[in-house]
Amino acid sequence: MDLFSSSNAALSSSPLSEILRPKNLDEIIGQDKTLGPKSKLGQMLRKGYLPSLIIWGPPGTGKTTFALALSQHFNAHFENINAVDAGAKVLREVGEKGRDRRLQFQQKTVLFVDEIHRFNKAQQDVLLPFVEKGDLVLVGATTENPSYELNRALLSRCRVVVFERLSEEDLSKIVLRAESHYKKPLERILTKEAINNLLEYSDGDARRLINSLEILYNFTKDQEDGERLDVNDMRELLQQNPLGYDKSSEMHYDLISAFIKSVRGSDPDAAVYYLARMIDGGEDPIFIARRLIILASEDIGNADPRAISVAVSGLQAVEAIGLPEGAITLSQVTTYLACCPKSNASYMALNNARALVEKTRTQPVPLHLRSAKTALAKDLGYGRDYRYPHNYPTGWVEQNYLPEELETEPLYEPTNRGFEKNIRDYLNWMKGQKPEK
């Protein structure tokens, strides 16, 4: 009996996910760009070459199914382990058996490692010699960026394959397969609105869709025709889960990155969309509020000096009231900052100053700027010839404030955006120049 064959009795008792599981590469749904006959990898596999692979993609996109189909396609022995449960001893035993299988029977061993990002360095090192010698064809599955989670030595011996979340069109093809198995159209048990909601709820996850279909078909198998479930009935039956989100996963970093870039890019709609995804996914609201404070200085700065006050007040409000009401405050701060004029001039001034300090090190402070609080300091000329700006009509007098040895371009250059244009014009006026238009 191979991986995909079984008796009718065994098949009927199997979960729907096993019954509908694709039997070969051509039956896999939603990954044509990566695995289709026209893709480079697809052509490589169909020509008989099987490299070690790291499959990176969201849950329910077919990573395990792909590994099973590979072993069937190449008539290879299939080993399936989870990185959480497999220690170095287990990995070594699997590798040694794979070596014996290769030498005695000239048969490949496909080792599928689910959640491979959970392997530590020692576990990854155990796999290296077996992968290098061809004793094992490693197929690792991960929802995390492999560049962050896998060591360079193992990653260099594998090809990274990116699986995309399934589209609603892809999910509809899975629905057709379920309808064929149950011999009943889904529209006979769900309203049109409920079907659309089911596809949205599945969120590109085939496993979630198939598990939902199994529950729905089994619950309604004895109902009369015409008794269809509406959206509320279906939601109650499925106990729909919140959005997939893990505060320690790559999604955490991707969403906060998209959120900050949307605010910086002055797109309040995109910004509040990512805000909603983070809040509904369980992100710490304090973390979001703190990031908004950073953004208020880094990306808005003096183009709207009120931005930092709004952001700090937002943090204080969220700390005071928490969720769910704190989400309203975060939305107010987010949309305000997204609509502010943008300038990173103050941030760049700091970078420029640090670069200058790194280059010139500890230059002496000009004598006229030094503290003259002691008699010795006064005798040494500290503070002498200092000009007090308030004694002059514009509150400014020309004198050197930087160390004498420094010759540099301006470190802070106000933009012509928002309030910073007023700052630029004021500096020019104060120095006796005409404001720039």
Closest CA to 195 of 229, 243, 227: 229
Q: What per-residue confidence (pLDDT) applies to 189?
A: 92
Residue showing tokens 């983070």: 278
Q: What per-residue confidence (pLDDT) applies to 59?
A: 87
Architecture of the domain delimited by 168-238:
Orthogonal Bundle (1.10)
Q: Report the half-sphere exposure of 187 (CA within 13 A, side-chain side).
A: 3
CATH of 8-162, one of 3.40.50.300, 3.40.50.2300, 3.30.1490.20, 3.20.20.140: 3.40.50.300
Q: What per-residue confidence (pLDDT) applies to 358?
A: 85
Rounded CA-CA distance 188/173 in Å is: 17
Residue 38: exposure state from Cβ atoms within 10 A (0-12, 13-18, ≥19): exposed
Based on C-alpha coordinates, what's the Rg of the chain?
A: 32
Per-residue pLDDT of the chain (437 residues; tens, 9 = 90+): 344 444 444 445 689 999 999 988 899 999 999 998 889 999 999 999 999 999 998 888 999 999 999 989 999 999 999 888 888 889 999 999 999 999 999 999 999 999 898 888 888 999 999 999 999 999 999 988 888 778 888 888 899 999 998 999 999 999 999 999 999 999 999 999 999 889 888 888 999 999 999 999 999 887 776 688 988 888 888 876 555 555 555 667 888 999 999 999 999 999 999 999 999 888 889 999 999 999 999 999 999 999 999 999 999 999 888 888 999 999 999 999 999 999 999 999 999 998 888 888 888 888 888 888 888 888 888 989 999 989 888 788 888 888 887 877 788 889 899 999 998 888 888 777 555 54
Sketch the domain layout of the chain as residue ranges: 8-162, 168-238, 250-339
Q: Which long-range contacts (CB under 8 A, 24 or more apart) does 152-157 make?
A: 153/124, 153/125, 153/128, 154/124, 154/125, 154/127, 154/128, 155/54, 157/52, 157/128, 157/131, 157/132
Q: Are the CB atoms for 221 and 243 separated by under 8 Å?
A: no
Residue 338: exposure state from Cβ atoms within 10 A (0-12, 13-18, ≥19): buried
Rounded CA-CA distance 336/70 in Å is: 52
**Fold for the domain defined by 250-339:** Zinc Finger, Delta Prime; domain 3 (1.20.272)
Q: What per-residue confidence (pLDDT) applies to 226?
A: 66
CA torsion through residues 310, 316, 320, 325, sign: positive
